[in-house]
Amino acid sequence: HKSHRLSNEIERIVQDHLKYDRENVSDLWELIHHEGEMKVYRREVEENGIVVDPLKCFHTVKGVTGREICHYFFDPTYRMDWETTLDSTKVIETLDKDNPDTLIFFQLHKRVWPSAQRDSCFWSHIRCVSTGEEDQPLWIVVNYTTDHAQAPIKSPFVRLVANVALTCETQIIEPPLNPKDIKRENLLCKLTYVAFVNPGGWAPAAALRAIAKREYPKFLKRFTSYVIEQTRDQPILF
């Protein structure tokens, strides 16, 4: 494929996520939410007095493939259906129209009192990675903050800095003899979601931690339920 101005940065960030994200959490990580198959962990980290807590979530979703989960997370068409924390989202650039696996988004996040309203500008890249050993390939979407002329930083908005990745493995449970006979009840998607979000300007640490503890599980539950609903009667996208 043709490469573009972001290709090298994308390669570096994607490889980092592929290397570290699916590693099990150490005891440095605090379990902040456990609901069914969903486990959400956090480390408490501050940079210059700003809360930048890394977040890591492991979840197993029945009845969908990793490709389907990543498709609905990446594709701007569905963003406002499942994202309840945004006022708006817009694709301001498609890096390669012949191979639209990299988009640049500009988003306005809903104001979270008492903090100033945030906006974000990030490249979003989707990729299928054949890992060799597993029978199914991995799918990954990475959202990584980038500057863009069409996303000027303008008061009163505070620019978020985000490095987020959703990595999915698909498992076929009790595979039928003929792969053509695989049904949704044979599908299991094991997903890892990591988020390194610096809220930009100052925000009260305790408030931000409470917001994150409430919002991430809610967002992951809503998003995965949305994909289950959208794919229920659709042919399986492997």
Ligand X SMILES: CCCc1ccc(-c2ccc(S(=O)(=O)CCO)cc2)cc1[C@H]1C[C@H]1c1ccccn1
Shortest reach from residue 231's CB to ligand X, in Å: 19
> Residue 25 interacts with ligand X (CB under 6 A)?
no
> Residue 88 interacts with ligand X (CB under 6 A)?
no
> Residue 38 interacts with ligand X (CB under 6 A)?
no
> Residue 227 interacts with ligand X (CB under 6 A)?
no
d(CA 147, CA 169): 31
Q: Which of 32, 103, 104, 203 binds ligand X (CB under 6 A)?
A: 203
> Residue 57 interacts with ligand X (CB under 6 A)?
no
> Residue 219 interacts with ligand X (CB under 6 A)?
yes
Whether residue 114 is preceded by a cis peptide bond, meaning omega within 30 degrees of 0, is: yes
Nearer to ligand X, 136 or 168 (CB): 168
Number of chain residues interacting with ligand X (CB under 6 A): 19
Provide φ and ψ at 128, rounded to 5°: -105, 130
Shortest reach from residue 176's CB to ligand X, in Å: 35
> Residue 83 interacts with ligand X (CB under 6 A)?
yes
Residue nearest to ligand X (CB): 215
SS (H, E, C) 48-115: CCEECCCEEEEEEEECCCHHHHHHHHHCHHHHHHHCCCEEEEEEEEECCCCCCCEEEEEEEECCCCCC
d(CA 134, CA 132): 6
Shortest reach from residue 188's CB to ligand X, in Å: 22
Q: Which of 104, 142, 212, 227 binds ligand X (CB under 6 A)?
A: 212
209 in Cβ contact with 61 (< 8 Å): no
Kindly state the tokens that stand for 177.
Answer: 């003899």
> Residue 32 interacts with ligand X (CB under 6 A)?
no
Ranges within 100-159 binding ligand X (CB under 6 A): 107, 109, 112, 115, 118, 143
Contact segment (CB under 6 A) with ligand X among 6-14, 29-37, 215-223, 224-232 equals 215-223
> Are β-strands 158-159 and 118-129 bridged in parallel, bridged antiparallel, or unpaired?
parallel
Q: Which of 95, 160, 188, 189 binds ligand X (CB under 6 A)?
A: 160
d(CA 160, CA 201): 8
